[in-house]
Every structure is written in C-alpha cells, then in structure tokens.
Amino acid sequence: MDCNRALELDPKFAKALYRRACALEKMGLKSSAVEDLNRCLALAPNAAASALKEKLAGKRNADAIHVACVEKGDELRSDAEFVEIGIDVPQSSTEDIKKSEPPADDKNTIGSEIDEFQFRVPKTHREFLLDYRELQRFPPEKFVSYFLAIPTSVYSSLFGELLEADVIGRLLRGFASLLESNGVEAKEVSTCLLSLSDLPRFQLLSMFFGDDEKKDLVIICQFLPHSDSVAIRKRYGVEESSEE
C-alpha cells in the first residue's frame, strides 16, 4: 500500500493514516483500521475519521480475507529463451550539446506563454482539470486570475466532492502574493475562500493543510475585513497564535 510507504517516511502523516484505515476497513481488518483512526485523530481531529471510528465501534476483524489472484494465461506466455542484447551508447560531444541548447530568446518563453494563455470559465470538472494542469506551469498568481473568473454560484456543481487540497494550496499561495502587492481585492478573496469552505469535501481537505498553507492563510487574513478574517480562520483551522 502507498500509505505504508508514506508512513515509513512520516509516521505522523494523518492523511495517510486515514486513507489506510479506509482501505483496512474495506478489507475487513476493522480493529486495525480503528488503530489507525485513533492515531489519525490524535494528530488531526476531524469529522470524517471520527465518523468512521464510530461506524467501526465494537466490530471485529473478518474471519478470512479473500484476495483475488490473477494468473497470466498460457496463451500470454512466451516459449522463447532470453537473449542477451548488446547496446552501444553513443557519447555526446561538447559540440553536440551546444547545438542542442535552446536559443537565448527562449528564456522569455514562459512570460510570453502566460500572456497568451486564454482564460475560459470551465463548464465541467474535466475542463477545470485540463486548465489546472496547464496553469501549473505558471506562477500561482495566474491560477488566481483564472479561478476568480469562476462564479462562486457554480462551485458546488463544478467541484462537488472532487476538489483536491493542492488546488486550494495553490490558490492560497497566489492570494497571499497578490494581496501583498495589491494585485487583488480583499473582498474577492474572502468571498472565494468562504464559498470553497461550504463545499461538502472541504472539512476533510482542511485537515491536511500543512505549514505552508497555514502561513499563507495568516498573510491573507491580515488583509481581509475583520469579520471575514475570523470566519476564515475558524473554517480553515488557523489559530490566532499562528501570526506570532
């Protein structure tokens, strides 16, 4: 499981603990799932993990776990013997490398691409994902301009439960940068962030915000009206002491 590897690297990775608990529950390993949920809740209390733990309360592991085994059919097997193949690797000369280098003018390519990128308001989540992949090549501020063009009234139908934490993280980075340079209206930022927090999956996503996201939120809240700042801090899980 990828979660096992993630937890080897970071035993306090709450997101991996929750996902592994979900997988264990599906496999019938309910007591093991509860152990992961207890660790997850100790690190980052959240409604999703609490609900799953309550669901598993008092339940035992399955008596047997059935794992489907897929065998390769004989018709797919080859009777040919392995053959050793020698490969000559050509050595590139310094002259060849110089020839392959892009012209100096290409250094400004990214800037021109940003100017030429055509905005569109996505009508489906698939369209949004295609645009998001394209915009990842550009600074977060470009993504903010794109995202603010999407009416908040369509957030629910456009994202539903498909919104990912990295999208919000990139948005926060862009907001923080633009607010510091007076590149965006504070009220626009408040409206966007509060609307995102109304999405059904947001509560789960917010538990995975890292230090970078929280630092950006602290910066953002400094520029917002007090009432909006208080509401966003509460919904995004940012304590007042984070500014210190």
Q: Is the pLDDT of residue 120 over 90?
A: no
How many whole angstroms separate alpha carbon 213 and alpha carbon 210? Answer: 5
Confidence of residue 230 (pLDDT cuts 50, 70, 90): very high
Arithmetic mean of pLDDT, 172-190: 95
Arithmetic mean of pLDDT, 192-198: 95
Greater pLDDT, 39 or 241: 39
Query: Which of 191, 178, 183, 169 is closest to 220 using CA atoms?
Result: 178
Confidence of residue 44 (pLDDT cuts 50, 70, 90): confident
User: 129 and 51, same structural domain?
Assistant: no
Using alpha carbons, list the distances in angstroms from residue 67 to 24, 27, 32, 33, 71: 13, 9, 17, 18, 13
**Residue-averaged pLDDT of the chain:** 79
User: 231 and 129, same structural domain?
Assistant: yes
Q: Which residues does 238 contact at the CB level (< 8 Å), separation at least 6?
A: 214, 217, 218, 221, 232
Q: Identity (one letter) of the amino acid at 114?
A: I
With a threshold of 0.85, does the pTM exceed it?
no
* Domain stops at, among 33, 56, 79: 56
**Residue 65, in any domain of the structure:** no
pLDDT at residue 242 in the model: 42
Q: How far apart are the first and last CA of the chain?
A: 39
pLDDT at residue 111 in the model: 44
**Residue 80, in any domain of the structure:** no
Greater pLDDT, 161 or 148: 148
CB–CB of 41/61 below 8 Å? no
Task: Indicate the SS3 state at residue 186.
Answer: helix
Confidence of residue 73 (pLDDT cuts 50, 70, 90): low
* Domain stops at, among 56, 71, 100: 56
CB–CB of 59/33 below 8 Å? no
Confidence of residue 110 (pLDDT cuts 50, 70, 90): very low
Arithmetic mean of pLDDT, 55-71: 67
217: exposed, middle or buried (Cβ count in 10 Å: 0-12, 13-18, 19+): buried
3 state SS for 59-99 = CCCCCCCCCCCCCCCHHHCCCCCCCCCCCCCCCCCHHHHHH
pLDDT at residue 243 in the model: 43
Arithmetic mean of pLDDT, 187-211: 89
**Residue 86, in any domain of the structure:** no
pLDDT at residue 114 in the model: 47
User: 129 and 44, same structural domain?
Assistant: no
The count of structural domains within the chain is 2
**Residue 105, in any domain of the structure:** no
242: exposed, middle or buried (Cβ count in 10 Å: 0-12, 13-18, 19+): middle
pLDDT at residue 45 in the model: 87
How many whole angstroms separate alpha carbon 109 and alpha carbon 105? Answer: 7
Q: Could you tell me the residue range of the domain that residue 22 belongs to? A: 3-56
59: number of Cβ within 10 Å = 13
Greater pLDDT, 6 or 22: 22
Q: Is the pLDDT of residue 64 over 70?
A: no
Q: Considering only 16-25, 96-105, 232-241, which range has the smallest mean pLDDT? A: 96-105
Percent of the chain with pLDDT over 70: 73
**Residue 77, in any domain of the structure:** no
Backbone angles phi, psi at 149, to 5 degrees: -75, -15
* Domain stops at, among 56, 78, 93: 56
Q: Which of 11-25, 86-100, 134-148 has the highest mean pLDDT?
A: 134-148
